Amino acid sequence: MALNAQVSFLDGTLSLIHIPLSLYPTFLQPILKVLLPQSRGAPDLNLDGLTLDNSRHGFLNISVTPLECSIVCHSSWAKAVFEPVIRQLPRDAAKTVSISKDAYVVFSVISAGMDAGSRVADLTSPLALANIPIFFITTYYSDFILVPAKDRQAVEKTLLSRGFVFSEDNNNSSFTSPYSHSRGPSQSSSLNELPATPPPSSIPELQERTFENLKKRNVVPYIEPDLLLIQCSGREDKDTIGGYSERPSTFHHHHQNGHGNHNRHSSHGPCWADTVDTKLYTGLVSALVSQPRFLSITLAQEDPPSLLLDRNLLGIFGDSLVGPTTEGFSLVPIFLDLSSLPIEATGIVSGVAGTLVKELQPGVEVDDHGRRGSGQEELELSYLSTARAGAVILGEEVSVRAMEVLRGVLVREGR
């Protein structure tokens, strides 16, 4: 049965911010300010990037990992909230913080009954082959792909040339994939391979170039000891004023409705606190204040909040989370430090995921353009791009074998 992937561009332009962990305490207040834009009548509400009721961001990702703190937010928030803090830093410290010079746009990938990898397989392979740099973020409900704003037309042209149907919906660009897939890892790309001339003509060639480039830059995959992750979501309160819209046909993970106060009305209209789960956000603030070992938060205009977090943080969220939080299943991130590569580089996720599919699922047939044969066993794989790093995220058991595979293609002899 064919399963269609819907791809829609979200409104607004975004900036990508890198903050070294040593400066994280300095930037905690602006991080919380962006996460909690709740002060009605404050100048912040004049900034772009919020929904019409000023209750939440069109798109926001805050990720704290063992390598860095990375923020994806609307460009106006980067300028108004983060740039003043950078200007107050000593010159040497200010040089270690970066805000992307180019603006980005983001599109979401939604498909019922398919895991994160399969939903973006048809998208990311052609984008990688076209040398379009992207950042890829797996969330509990959707996947989000950031591309440079200047490449938006090239993205649309590339997808159309591969059979995607383009349509206009509420001023957002939408595509529908005609391809049928079984579930599998993404063939997506991220900040990782220097643009090549001519571009690679096939996925195997792309993978070869990717790993040669990483080896030249001494990028070595590694796992943080005793770091186990959970992917989950905040509870959805579909009846709350300004709350999240329910899209049950697109949810592919465990989902259950939230239980909140459905009558929180104000004579002045809904305020920020009327539209969120305060227990969830109290947990988020508590986790961020503690400078977590790993916490990634994604807010998008159509989805409930999505979290990828250190399992040890679960206790501070109480019953405000939805997902496999009480089960024995945990995820392991394999980190790639990409700080030596330019931000416009492309190809890593496609190369890494394609190699893992080939080696961990030897019976899976993948053509030169990254399309998997149907009816194959699933490999659960997701990915998180941050400003200067990437994390391949797998189950505990398969992560051991995945490390062996990646070290085999990335680590030079004698290391």
- What is residue 243's predicted lDDT score, i.e. its pLDDT? 43
Q: How many CA atoms lie within 13 A of 63 on its CB side?
A: 26
Residue with the two structure tokens 């107050």: 88
- What is residue 181's predicted lDDT score, i.e. its pLDDT? 34
- What is residue 205's predicted lDDT score, i.e. its pLDDT? 86
Decide if pLDDT at 96 tops 90.
yes
- What is residue 207's predicted lDDT score, i.e. its pLDDT? 82
Distance, in Å, from the CA atom of 415 to the CA atom of 410, rounded to the nearest integer, reads 10
pLDDT digits (tens, 9 = 90+) for 365-391: 555 554 555 445 567 788 899 999 999
Decide if pLDDT at 245 tops 50.
no
Q: Tell me what the mean pLDDT of segment 79-89 comes to.
A: 96
Cis before residue 90, ω within 30 degrees of 0? no
Least Cα distance to 20 among 298, 389, 312 occurs for 389
Decide if pLDDT at 346 tops 50.
yes
- What is residue 188's predicted lDDT score, i.e. its pLDDT? 37
- What is residue 193's predicted lDDT score, i.e. its pLDDT? 39
Helix axes 116-129, 348-360, angle to 10 degrees: 130
Distance, in Å, from the CA atom of 174 to the CA atom of 256, rounded to the nearest integer, reads 27
Q: Tell me what the mean pLDDT of segment 42-69 comes to.
A: 75
- What is residue 368's predicted lDDT score, i.e. its pLDDT? 53
pLDDT digits (tens, 9 = 90+) for 258-289: 333 333 333 444 555 666 788 999 999 999 99
Q: What is the DSSP string of 366-403?
A: B-TTSPBPTTPPP---EEEE-SSEEEEEEEHHHHHHHH
- What is residue 377's predicted lDDT score, i.e. its pLDDT? 55
Under 8 Å CB-to-CB from 408, ≥6 apart: which residues?
none
Residue 29 confidence class, pLDDT cut points 50, 70, 90: very high
Decide if pLDDT at 74 tops 80.
yes
Q: How many CA atoms lie within 13 A of 38 on its CB side?
A: 11
Residue with the two structure tokens 């001494």: 218
Q: What percent of the chain has pLDDT over 90?
A: 42
Q: Tell me what the mean pLDDT of segment 113-130 comes to.
A: 65
One-letter amino acid of 299: L
- What is residue 112's predicted lDDT score, i.e. its pLDDT? 59
Output phi, psi for 290, to 5 deg. Answer: -80, 0
Would you state the structure tokens that stand for residue 54, as one six-digit string?
């000023």
Decide if pLDDT at 199 tops 80.
no
- What is residue 263's predicted lDDT score, i.e. its pLDDT? 37
Question: Are 114 and 181 within 8 A, CB to CB?
Answer: yes
Residue 168 confidence class, pLDDT cut points 50, 70, 90: low
Question: Alpha helices of 6-134 — where are they, by DSSP H?
Answer: 24-35, 75-77, 83-87, 91-94, 116-129
- What is residue 50's predicted lDDT score, i.e. its pLDDT? 67
Distance, in Å, from the CA atom of 164 to the CA atom of 268, rounded to the nearest integer, reads 44
- What is residue 381's predicted lDDT score, i.e. its pLDDT? 81
Distance, in Å, from the CA atom of 159 to the CA atom of 161, rounded to the nearest integer, reads 5
Is pLDDT larger for residue 171 or for residue 198? Answer: 198
Q: Tell me what the mean pLDDT of segment 240-253 comes to.
A: 40
Q: What angle do CA 405, 408, 409 make, to 5 degrees?
A: 95
Would you state the structure tokens that stand for residue 303, as one six-digit string?
């989805």
- What is residue 273's predicted lDDT score, i.e. its pLDDT? 63
- What is residue 187's predicted lDDT score, i.e. its pLDDT? 36
Q: Tell me what the mean pLDDT of segment 199-224 comes to.
A: 88
pLDDT digits (tens, 9 = 90+) for 131-159: 888 899 989 888 898 999 999 999 888 87
- What is residue 125's predicted lDDT score, i.e. its pLDDT? 76
Residue 324 confidence class, pLDDT cut points 50, 70, 90: confident
**Angstrom distances, CA of residue 33 to CA of 41, 76, 274:** 15, 13, 17
Tell me the β-bridge partners of 213: none
- What is residue 260's predicted lDDT score, i.e. its pLDDT? 33
Output phi, psi for 367, to 5 deg. Answer: -80, 180
Query: In a 3-state reduction of DSSP, which class is residue 334?
Result: strand
Least Cα distance to 234 among 255, 262, 210, 213 occurs for 255
Q: Is 113 left (phi over 0), alpha (psi -120 to 50) or beta?
A: left
Q: How far does Cα 304 stand from its chain's mean position?
A: 14
Would you state the structure tokens that stand for residue 391, as one six-digit string?
């994390």
- What is residue 209's predicted lDDT score, i.e. its pLDDT? 86
Fill in the DSSP letter of residue 88.
T
Q: Which of 90-99, 157-166, 311-320, 406-415 has the lowest mean pLDDT?
A: 157-166
- What is residue 48's predicted lDDT score, i.e. its pLDDT? 66
Least Cα distance to 77 among 15, 148, 18 occurs for 15
Residue 126 confidence class, pLDDT cut points 50, 70, 90: confident
